[in-house]
Structure 1
Amino acid sequence: MPQIQLTNVGSQKRIDSYLAEVLEIPRNQIQKWIEKGKVCINGYVVNKNYKLKGEEKITFEPVEFEKPNLKVSDCDIKILYEDDFLVVVDKPAGIVVHPGAANEELSVVGALLYRGVKLSDIGVPLRPGVVHRIDKDTSGVIVLAKDNNVHFNLANQFAAHICKRYYIGVCEGHLKDYHGTIETQIGRHLKNRKIFSVTQGKHAITHYKVIMRLKDMDVVRFELETGRTHQIRVHMQYLNHPLVGDSVYSKTKSKIITRQALHAFYLGFYHPISNKFLKFYSKLSEDILNLLGLKED
Structure 2
Amino acid sequence: MSIVVTAATGQLGRLVIDELLARVPADQIAAVVRDADKAADIAAKNVELRIADYEDPETLKSAFSADDVVLLISGSEFGRRTVQHQNVIDAVTAAGVARLAYTSVLGAPVAEYRLADEQHKPTEQAILDSGLTYTILRNGWYTDNYTAQIPLQLAHGVTAAAGEGRIGSATRRDYAAAAAVVLTTEGHENKAYELSGDTAWTFTEYAAELSRQSGTEVAYNDVPVEALAGMFTGAGMPAEQAEVFAETDLAVKRGHFQGGSGDLSRLIGRPTTPLAESIAAALRASNPA
Report the TM-score range of the alignment, normalised by the length of the smaller protein.
under 0.3
Q: Which has the higher helix share?
A: 2
TM-score (norm 1): 0.25
Structure of higher RCO (CA pairs closer than 8 Å, 6+ residues apart): 2
Which one has a larger percent strand, Structure 1 or Structure 2?
1
